[in-house]
Structure 1
């Protein structure tokens, strides 16, 4: 069951006390993009803080997260379970194996374009944790 997030905006007037306006929006689970045909070419370390962008897609430091095949979002809609890694919660700082590339809008898949209509810096995560 999806819960609705409630945001409260306080309106201020010139001397008039007003009741806060309540705005509700859908709290759909974020989108986790999956790379179904990863070739393992990205083997560097990726480090950053996970978040959800304005389009509802999971990011690492404002770069779209492209997860390895077999990854999924947990039932709570907040836990990310990447194949080959311990689960983490959106908002956590993570260190993963992979790499990033900047991609112009015409080269994005339809789903990637939905997440980043103006192009994106993609973070490809491999199913192999980085060596220490």
Structure 2
């Protein structure tokens, strides 16, 4: 088995065995990766690649929007922020503006870091409830 085949199998297994919270974390990390790649593409004057990376980041943001439970107040507060990020990326794509991408990158990083904390707290609560931690 080649290294690439093994890595692809590992990635596929990571996704199929991840909890919903871990999947959301993967989406945030993927979005950050594409935002970083889009900035590098602008700097290298690779405009087709820039467009592709920004569209991939927007697709992730759209997926995050689609998964919000709008019965929850926190989701009602997050939706406008996601919409803002999506719109900013459209503007950044048209204007080839690295600063706009960096702005969205900062927001996604904040969401990702907060989400990491939520996952950690949830794990601690589950351990406490199951009696694993004393």
User: What TM-score, normalized to structure 2?
Assistant: 0.22
| Greater helix proportion | 2
| Greater strand proportion | 1
